[in-house]
Amino acid sequence: MSIPKWASLFPFSQYINMKNIALYIIILLSTGHVNAQISRKYVSAIYSVKSLEGPDDSPFKELIIKQNPLFFDELNTQIYTLNANAEKSYFQINGNPSLSFKRYLNLWVGDGSNEGIWQDSKGGYVAFPKSIFSKEPFLMQIPRADSWKITNESKQIGEFTCIKATTQTKTVNQEGKEFIKNAIAWFCPDLDYPFGPLKYGGLPGLILELQTETALFGLKSISFSNTPNIKQRPNYEVVTEAEQSKRIREQRAARKLSK
């Protein structure tokens, strides 16, 4: 059997027949697929953020505007980065926002939104420095928002087909009061990283868009590499959100008694 002209594109074509050419093509394609998978071991997703109105009963918006009238304008200019692999992630704000801005960022957007938040399968982790409530720096473990209802809705975000999922999370403030918060995520099943902005994760794919009650995170760009890109989590004591709230209540009560 004669070898077609296009076979000359392959090296050593004078030594191969049609069956070998077919095998060669299969090897090339499978090698390319493996290389593509390897090069996607780490992902770096860049998000813009837009402030939303927030819940009608929020006590914080009026306070924030009174203390920092430019807060919401500044929030809408911020950029966040999520670095992740299949097992863990780190989400952080880019640049160095003003202190007056960062003071209210956690209050409006959520824990970890001003200094960064780590995630793994057990939860989210936010680092706290020494303070009047803690003699040593510590990591507060935040329950990960991973109880999702996956819908049949889909949409395109850039080149990626994404699926809509919804969730409700409970948070407890330092006084022990419980709040329920709603969120919508659009995740991409083709991107096998079970993480997203803030403490949201646990979906079968990377979250490319996240809408909480107070903020909308949208994908600006995404890149992949084989080079580790996740900031090392500090080796601090880990305490739960409930434990830290209890510590603060007890210390406040002790100070009142000592007066």
Q: Does 139 lie in the same domain as 157?
A: yes
Q: Does 156 lie in the same domain as 117?
A: yes
Long-range CB contact pairs, 225-230, < 8 A, 24+: 225/39, 225/41, 225/42, 225/44, 226/38, 226/39, 226/41, 226/42, 227/42, 228/42, 228/85, 229/42, 229/44, 229/83, 230/42, 230/83, 230/84, 230/85, 230/88, 230/89, 230/90
Q: Does 68 lie in the same domain as 9?
A: no
Q: Does 77 lie in the same domain as 63?
A: yes
pLDDT at 100: 81
pLDDT at 58: 73
pLDDT at 2: 52
pLDDT at 173: 60
Q: Does 71 lie in the same domain as 15?
A: no
pLDDT at 112: 67
Which pTM value belongs to this model?
0.79
Q: Does 101 lie in the same domain as 16?
A: no
Q: Does 13 lie in the same domain as 74?
A: no
Q: Does 27 lie in the same domain as 91?
A: no
**Residue 123, beta-bridge partner list:** 120
Q: Does 13 lie in the same domain as 67?
A: no
pLDDT at 145: 82
Q: Domain span at residue 78?
A: 42-258
Q: Does 161 lie in the same domain as 122?
A: yes
Sheet of strand 237-240: strand arrangement: 148-157, 160-172, 178-188, 206-211, 215-225, 42-51, 79-84, 89-93, 117-120, 123-128, 138-142, 237-240
Q: Does 145 lie in the same domain as 19?
A: no
One digit per residue, the tens of pLDDT, for the chain of length 259 reads 455 544 444 443 443 455 444 443 443 344 344 344 445 899 999 999 999 988 766 778 888 989 999 999 999 999 999 999 999 999 999 988 888 888 888 889 986 667 799 999 998 999 988 876 678 889 988 888 878 999 999 999 999 999 999 999 876 665 666 778 899 999 999 999 999 999 999 999 999 999 999 999 999 999 999 999 999 999 999 988 778 777 777 777 776 766 6
DSSP codes, 23-59: HHHHHHHHHHHHHHHHHTSEEEEEEEEEE----TT-S
User: How many structural domains does the chain have?
Assistant: 2
Q: Does 187 lie in the same domain as 78?
A: yes
